Structure 1
Amino acid sequence: MERLIRDTGLEMPRTPWTTADRLWGLVLGVVAVLSAAFTMRAYSPGGYHSDGLFQLAQALGEEPWNDWHPIVMSVLWKVLIDSTGSIASLMYLQVALTWLASVGLGLLVYDVTRRRPLSLVTTVIPLLPWVANVLGMLWKDVHMMTALFLCVVLVLWAARIGGAAAGTGRARMRSVLVWVLLGLAALALVYGVLVRKNAVFAALPLLWLMLTVAVPQMSGVPRLGGLLRSWKRAAVALVAGMLLLVLGVQLAGKLVDASVGGAERTGQITQVMLDDVLFTITADEIDALDIPAELKQKFHASQAVCPPDGGPEGDGHLTDAYWRCYGMGENGGYTRLAYDEEIRALWFDWVPSHLGRYVEYRFTTFVRFLFATDYKIQIVNKENEYGLDRDHPQAHVAMTDYTNRFVEDLPWTFDAWLWTALLGTALYLGVRRTRLFSRSVIVLTTSGLFYILGYIPLVPANNYRYIYWPVVACLAAWALLGAERALRARPVPAPEPQSAPTAARSAGRHESEEE
Structure 2
Amino acid sequence: MTSRPVIFGAIVLLALLHGALFWPGIMTWDAIRQYGQALSGQYDDWHPPAMNWLWRQLGLFGAGPAPMLVLQLALYWGGTALWMQAAWARGRRGATGAIALLALSPIVLVLVGTILKDSLFAGTLLLASGLLAARPGDRAARIVAALLLVAAATLRFNAVPACLPLLLLAVPAAWRRTVPRLGATALLAAIPLVLALPLANAALHAKRSGVELSLVIYDLGGIGAFAKTDVFPRTSVANPVAVNEDCYSPISWDRYAWWGAAPCAIGFTTLDAPLKAGHGPYGWWAAAVAAHPLAYAEHRLAHFDRNTRFLVHDADLPGLSPQSDPNPWGFTVAPNGWRSALQHAADATLTTPPGWPICWLALGLGLLVLRPRLGDGDPAVALAWSAVLYGFSYLPLSVASEVRYHFWTMTAVGIAAALLLSQRATWQLPRWRLAAAAAPLLIVVAAGVIARA
TM-score between the two structures when normalised by the length of structure 1: 0.72
In the alignment, structure 1 segments of 5+ residues that lack a partner are 1-19, 163-177, 217-225, 311-315, 490-515
Give the corresponding residue for 1:80. Answer: 58
Specify the alignment match of 2:264 in structure 1: 326
SS at match of 1:326: coil
Deviations 1:388-426 (A, max 9, x none): 22236244224324434434xx53321122111111222
Mapped to 2, the partners of 1:268 and 1:76 lie a distance apart of 21
| 261, 276, 296: which one aligns with 1:358 | 296
CA–CA distance in 1 between the matches of 2:425 and 2:321? 36
Q: Does 1:235 align with 2:183?
A: yes
Give the conservation status (yes or no) of the 8 Å contact 1:28–1:120.
no
1:399 is the counterpart of 2:342: yes
**Is the contact between residue 251 and residue 401 of structure 2 (CA under 8 Å) also seen in structure 1?**
no
Write the distance in 2 (CA, Å) between the matches of 1:47 and 1:339.
38
Higher relative contact order (CA 8 A, sep 6+): 1
Deviation at 1:253, TM superposition (A): 4.2
Q: Answer yes or no: is the 8 Å Cα contact 2:27–2:65 preserved in 1.
A: no
Measured after TM superposition, the shift of residue 90 of structure 1 is 0.3
Go from structure 1 to structure 2 and tell me whether the alpha carbon gap of 1:321 and 1:339 turns closer, same or farther (over 3 Å shift): farther
Q: 1:272 to 1:297 in 2, by over 3 A?
A: farther
Instruction: Using the TM superposition, give the Cα deviation of residue 210 of structure 1 relative to its aligned residue in structure 2, in angstroms.
Output: 1.9
The answer on whether the counterparts of 1:206 and 1:447 sit within 8 Å (CA) in structure 2 is yes
Match of 1:47 among 22, 26, 33: 26
Name which of 319, 323, 327 aligns with 1:384.
Answer: 327
Q: Equivalent residue for 1:191?
A: 151
CA spacing shift, 1:359–1:405, aligned 2, 3 Å: closer
Whose Rg is larger? 1
Residue 439 (structure 1) shift: 2.4
> Quick one: which of 111, 115, 133 aligns to 2:110?
133
Shift in Å, 1:382:
1.8
1:341 paired residue among 276, 281, 290: 276
Percent identity of the aligned residues?
25
| C-alpha spacing 1:406/1:251, structure 2 compared with 1 (3 Å) | closer
| Preserved CA contact (<8 Å) 1:60 1:78 | yes
1:414 corresponds to 2:359? no
The answer on 1:150 being equivalent to 2:127 is: yes
Query: Quick one: structure 1 residues 398 and 85, their matched pair in 2 at CA, closer, same or farther if it must change by over 3 Å?
Result: same
Query: Counterpart in 2 of 1:91?
Result: 69
Aligned residues: 414
Q: Does residue 471 of structure 1 match 2:384?
A: no
Residues 205, 114 of structure 1: alpha-carbon distance in 2 compared, 3 angstrom cutoff: closer
Aligned to 1:204: 164
Kept in 2, the 8 Å contact 1:43–1:379? The answer is no
Distance in 2, matches of 1:330 and 1:338, equals 8
Contact 1:137 1:379 survives alignment (8 Å): no
Q: Structure 2: state its 5+ residue gaps.
A: 429-453
C-alpha spacing 1:426/1:381, structure 2 compared with 1 (3 Å): same
Deviation at 1:126, TM superposition (A): 2.7
Q: Does 1:58 align with 2:18?
A: no
1:43 and 1:267 map into 2 onto residues whose CA distance is 33
Alpha-carbon contact 1:109-1:483 (below 8 Å) kept: no
The letter for the 2-side match of 1:480 is: L
Q: Is the 8 A contact 1:55 1:69 kept in 2?
A: yes
TM-score, normalising length: structure 2:
0.81
